[in-house]
Structure 1
Amino acid sequence: MPQRRVTVASKVGLHARPAALVAKTAAAQAVPVTIAKDGGDPVPAGSLLSLMTLAAGHGDEVVIAAEGDGAEAAIDAVAELVASDLDA
């Protein structure tokens, strides 16, 4: 299963607005995307509630994964957001 490690760039972590943007992007992908905080269980990246309970803060490393046709593109789309400062 393709996956990528990404550092959370938003100063508030994956909470509120950044989490909503990530969830919206993940839900729009052709394949299910999961995200896991280092050492934790993966959760659906398209679920705002799951992202909020992940408690991924600024500077935390997360693992984004997907499986199936288009998995790499889906991971790229979500990873780009997680690695961006979405606080602005």
Structure 2
Amino acid sequence: MAERQATIASSSGLHARPAKLFVQAVKEQSVPVTIAAPGGPDLNAGSILSLMGLGASNGTVVTLKAEGEGADEALDALVALLETDLDAE
């Protein structure tokens, strides 16, 4: 299982527009991806409701996990997205 940590860069955290863009990116991956906030359970990263429930604000470090062929590449792309201020674009 591949695992990566990412620091949320968007000023509003994983809410509204950044969450929507992230979910779209997750759904484009060839493997299922989970996301977890510190001390929290692994949640479906492709679910907007799961992301909103994380309460991940700017600076929160989240853990992404994926398994299967292409997992490393998928997580690398998703980490890069989370570490970009999606509110500024």
**Normalising TM by the smaller chain, what interval?**
over 0.9
TM-score (norm 2): 0.95
Tell me how far 1:87 sits from its aligned partner: 0.4
Tell me how far 1:27 sits from its aligned partner: 1.1
1:74 corresponds in structure 2 to 74
The residue matched to 1:52 in structure 2 has which SS?
A: helix
The within-5 A match list for 1:1-88 is: 1-88=1-88
Gaps of 5+ in 1: none
Runs in 1 of length 4+ with deviation above 3 angstroms?
none
Name the count of aligned residue pairs: 88
Q: Does the 8 Å contact 1:5/1:62 carry over to 2?
A: yes
TM-score (norm 1): 0.96
Gaps of 5+ in 2: none
Question: In 1, Cα distance between the equivalents of 2:33 and 2:51?
Answer: 12
